[in-house]
């Protein structure tokens, strides 16, 4: 799924990374606990989270994730925007709640991913 | 034997916002060395988890990374409270993190298990009241 599609489906605003909206994501993960996110290996994934601090973007960067969606209309901190720009991560903000946002992406064909054994 | 590259970082225990900077830097350095993305990801995640642990559980510490032809070795050393029961700490879901840390997105009790999962070798040396030294190795 293209990131631009995620933006549309979640009626999200672009915070930064507009130039990378054409990139594809192949898996997704929704969590407010960063070590839960780090337990799953995924390629070109999107992270959905209601957590707002710089470690969200660092976690995404460590995982080589390409997009972060802040749910429940959360606004990113200036540090988050700075870090996302540096690493080319598309940062989106959506009004949807976590459950709904995940459900919408899932039913539109973006599945989760397997636990690394 | 090829040259050994070494990197040293002081990890500030008072600054949650900048925690993880050493891991970000290592990730950049390894990229420049042309190491495979999968290996880099494993090293960065394991080091990041360890770095965050030093910040939230031990008041900071030091990170030393050395890169040789076939291995990346990460040593994380702190003078924090130590880990009384390492076996228990290694279990998924075990955490002593207070609510304040949980609200920052940490304290799932997944960090140490992740570090073990992503590395080829991990050893924890810890003494209560003295500190903790964690050594991890990832084969290239
Ligand atoms: N460097 C350290 N110094 C002292 N105690 C530590 C250290 N690292 C880990 N611990 C102890 O081991 C426990 C488990 O660590 P682990 O990283 O697995 O989970 P966590 O840090 O609590 O949560 P998470 O990593 O999921 O955010 C911690 O809650 C803490 O009690
Ligand atoms: Mg941890």
Which residue in chain B has the smallest CA separation from A33? B105
Residue A113 lies inside a defined structural domain of this protein: no
Nearest Cβ partner for B104 among A39, A53, A116? A53
- Burial profile A33-42: b = 16 or more Cβ within 10 angstroms, e = fewer: bbbbbbbbbb
pTM of the model: 0.95
CA B57 to chain centre: 12
CA distance B96 to A109: 38
Tokens 């988050």 correspond to: A80
Tokens 């559980």 correspond to: B57
Q: Is ligand 1 within 6 A of the CB of residue B19? A: no
- Interfacial B residues in 60-89 facing A (CB < 8 Å): none
- Burial profile B100-134: b = 16 or more Cβ within 10 angstroms, e = fewer: ebeebbbbbbbbbbbbebbbeebebebeeeebbbb
Which domain, by its residues, includes A18? 3-107
CA distance B80 to A69: 35
Which domain, by its residues, includes B36? 5-139
Instruction: Provide the strand spans (E) within B3-140.
Output: 5-12, 60-67, 71-78, 121-127, 131-139
CB under 8 Å to B26, separation ≥6 — which residues?
Answer: B7, B43, B44, B47, B65
Neighboring chain A residues of B52 at a CB cutoff of 8 Å:
34, 55
Q: Report the pLDDT value the prediction gives residue A42, as an integer from 0 to 100.
A: 79
Q: Is ligand 1 within 6 A of the CB of residue B108? A: yes
CA distance B5 to A101: 44
Q: pLDDT tens, A34-65?
A: 999 999 877 889 999 999 999 999 999 999 99
What is the residue with the minimal CA distance to atom 12 of ligand 1? B89
ipTM of predicted complex: 0.94
Q: pLDDT tens, B48-95?
A: 999 999 999 999 999 999 999 999 999 999 999 999 999 999 999 999
CA distance A111 to A94: 19
Given a cut of 80, is residue B3 above it in pLDDT?
Answer: no
Q: What is the CATH number of the domain that holds B117?
A: 3.30.565.10
User: CB count, 10 Å around CB of B11?
Assistant: 26
How does residue A113 score in pLDDT terms, banded at 50, 70 and 90?
Answer: low
Neighboring chain A residues of B113 at a CB cutoff of 8 Å:
39
Q: Which atom of ligand 1 is nearest to the CA of B76?
A: 1
Distance in Å, CA B108 to ligand 2 centroid:
7
The H or E element that residue B31 is part of is: helix B21-32
Active-site pick, B31, B102, B123, B139: B102
Q: What is the CATH number of the domain that holds A99?
A: 3.40.1390.20
Ligand 1 pocket test, candidate residues B61, B77, B104, B112, most atoms within 8 A of CB: B112
Residue A112 lies inside a defined structural domain of this protein: no
The domain total for chain B is: 1
The domain total for chain A is: 1
User: CB count, 10 Å around CB of A71?
Assistant: 24
Judged by CB atoms closer than 8 Å, whether chains meet at A35 and B23 is answered as no
Q: Is ligand 1 within 6 A of the CB of residue B107? A: yes
How does residue A106 score in pLDDT terms, banded at 50, 70 and 90?
Answer: very high
Nearest Cβ partner for B105 among A41, A55, A64? A55
Residue A95 lies inside a defined structural domain of this protein: yes
Q: pLDDT tens, B26-58?
A: 999 999 999 999 999 999 999 999 999 999 999
Residue A25 lies inside a defined structural domain of this protein: yes
Given a cut of 50, is residue A116 above it in pLDDT?
Answer: no
CA distance A74 to A60: 17
């Amino acid at each position: 799924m293209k990131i631009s599609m995620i933006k549309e489906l979640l009626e999200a605003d672009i915070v930064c990374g507009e130039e990378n909206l054409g990139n594809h994501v192949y898996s997704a993960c929704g969590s407010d606990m960063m070590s839960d996110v780090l337990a799953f290996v995924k390629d070109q994934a999107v992270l959905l989270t209601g957590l707002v601090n710089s470690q969200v973007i660092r976690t995404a960067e460590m995982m080589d994730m390409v997009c972060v969606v802040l749910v429940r209309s959360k606004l990113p901190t200036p540090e988050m925007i700075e870090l996302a720009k540096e690493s080319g991560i598309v940062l989106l903000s959506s009004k949807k709640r976590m459950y709904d946002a995940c459900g919408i992406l899932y039913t539109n064909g973006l599945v989760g991913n397997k636990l690394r054994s | 034997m090829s040259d050994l590259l070494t990197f040293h970082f002081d990890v500030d225990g008072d600054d949650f916002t900048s925690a993880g900077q050493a891991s970000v830097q290592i990730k950049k350095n390894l990229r420049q060395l042309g190491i495979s993305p999968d290996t880099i990801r494993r090293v960065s995640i394991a080091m990041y988890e360890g770095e965050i642990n030093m910040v939230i559980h031990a008041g900071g510490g030091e990170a030393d990374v050395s890169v040789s032809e076939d291995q990346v070795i990460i040593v994380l050393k702190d003078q924090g409270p130590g880990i009384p029961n390492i076996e228990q700490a290694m279990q998924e879901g075990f955490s002593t993190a207070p609510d304040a840390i949980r609200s920052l997105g940490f304290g799932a009790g997944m960090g140490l298990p992740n570090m073990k999962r992503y590395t080829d070798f991990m050893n924890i040396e810890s003494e209560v009241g003295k500190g903790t030294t964690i050594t991890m190795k990832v084969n290239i």
